[in-house]
Structure 1
């Protein structure tokens, strides 16, 4: 089953065209990665899906329902979660308060507590930091908090934008292990990542974006072996 279908979308920043007819799909249960250089359009693609940027032409379907230009707070309510580049946690709020913000539409206290314990099971350090303000934590801990906040909505599709950016190698390994685990537990993942080798290593499929256009796609393992990809992104 295709959970996300993107058809020929174009997105602009003012008069500058950022996406030029992007088409791609994500099937339920997959990890799909989008790789490309800085400024290629990776983050804009995720923002266009989640409603943070307006799509000028084209269409986006989630679970066969059109969501083109649906506001971000509404896409969250239908089962999509977007962890943006740079984490974007609430720096002045505690870990617990950040997680509660992730469950803004959940009214049952027991459900919130259950999901919070699930997050603490994935990221035990967050339980130890529960009363610490987000802005005082390390980069790796903030990334865990950003993912944990997204998981509080119990999404079917989790979109991650550069989760390894600025993190030490050992923390990067932990983050990618968690991504694998979440996928094994049934969450579909759309991953934007500059660490192309790491991303393609765990992805079922991948897309390569250049100058706002998809130029190549295939199985993650096949893209790793592609000479052009190796030279451009894996060297």
Structure 2
């Protein structure tokens, strides 16, 4: 059974028809990437999954249809969303940001355990424990955004443009962490404009253009596809 499945999802921003019948699946243990140019509908797809966009069609998670659920219920069900632009709380410390990620967890010992688990992936954050998030570098803020999402111990992680605005060396670090998370069992749906990096780390990929899926295949075959190379890898 698929962990996540979208069936003919349409999404709207007022009169703007942003998604045109998106259908995709993510199986347990996979990294699936959704690539496409700016404005193609990548972020809107994640928002539709999370209940943050007006939509029709069906979204299924872990065998349940969640299309009509409110965002807080979707988040509590095991779907964690790391939004484009990171959206950390800039005036809160690293510690406070992580605690906000575990807002629904009542067990303080469990919160402490999860913070230590996050530090295992992101040692830099331990060094910045009492530093305000907004004073850190872009790469450190991206690490914090992912770590905050992990505080809910999600079943699937939705990552929206994690490499945006980062220096190449930091991009490599972020993708190494994405690979490590997946090796440890995390299922990931990755939205990226950096098609080369995304397809290097993913198992499968979908290509979205003007709100429609135009191509899907194993990541290795997409990397070798002439059309993809010309449009996204040149």
Instruction: Name the TM-score, length of structure 1 as normaliser.
Output: 0.98
Q: Is the 8 A contact 2:13 2:54 kept in 1?
A: no
Give me the whole-angstrom Cα distance separating, in 2, the residues matched to 1:69 and 1:149: 25
Q: Is the 8 A contact 2:81 2:157 kept in 1?
A: yes
Matched, 1:171 2:196: no
Q: Match of 2:201? A: 202
Task: Supply the distance in 2 between the matched residues of 1:87 and 1:52 (Cα, whole angstroms).
Answer: 16
In 2, the alpha carbon distance for the partners of 1:155 and 1:76 equals 8
Determine whether 1:25 maps to 2:30.
no
Q: Deviations over 1:77-120 (max 9, x none)?
A: 11100000000000111100000000011111110000000011
CA separation in 1, counterparts of 2:158 and 2:68? 17
Offset, 1:18: 0.2
CA RMSD of aligned residues (A): 0.6
Which whole-Å CA distance do the structure 2 matches of 1:72 and 1:134 have between them?
A: 24
Question: What is the aligned partner in structure 2 of residue 230 from structure 1?
Answer: 229
> Which residues in structure 2 correspond to 1:90-169 (within 5 Å)?
90-169=89-168
Partner of 1:63: 62
* Contact 2:89 2:97 survives alignment (8 Å): yes
Paired residue secondary structure (2:4):
strand
Deviation at 1:69, TM superposition (A): 3.5
Shift of 1:52: 1.4
Unaligned runs of 5+ in 2: none
**Alpha-carbon distance in structure 2 between the residues aligned to 1:177 and 1:15:** 40
SS in 2 for 1:177: helix
Match of 1:8 in 2: 8
3-state SS of 1:2 partner? coil
Which residue of 2 is the match for residue 213 of structure 1? 212
Residue 83 of structure 1 corresponds to which residue in structure 2? Answer: 82
Runs (4+) of structure 1 exceeding 3 A deviation are none
8 Å CA contact retained: 2:51, 2:68: yes
Q: CA deviation at 1:51?
A: 1.1
Figure out how many residues of one structure are paired with residues of the other and give that number. 234
TM-score, reference length from structure 2: 0.99
TM-aligned CA deviation for residue 224 of structure 1: 0.4
Q: Say whether the 8 Å CA contact 1:9–1:58 is kept in structure 2.
A: yes
- Aligned 8 A contact 1:9 1:20 in 2: yes
Unaligned runs of 5+ in 1: none
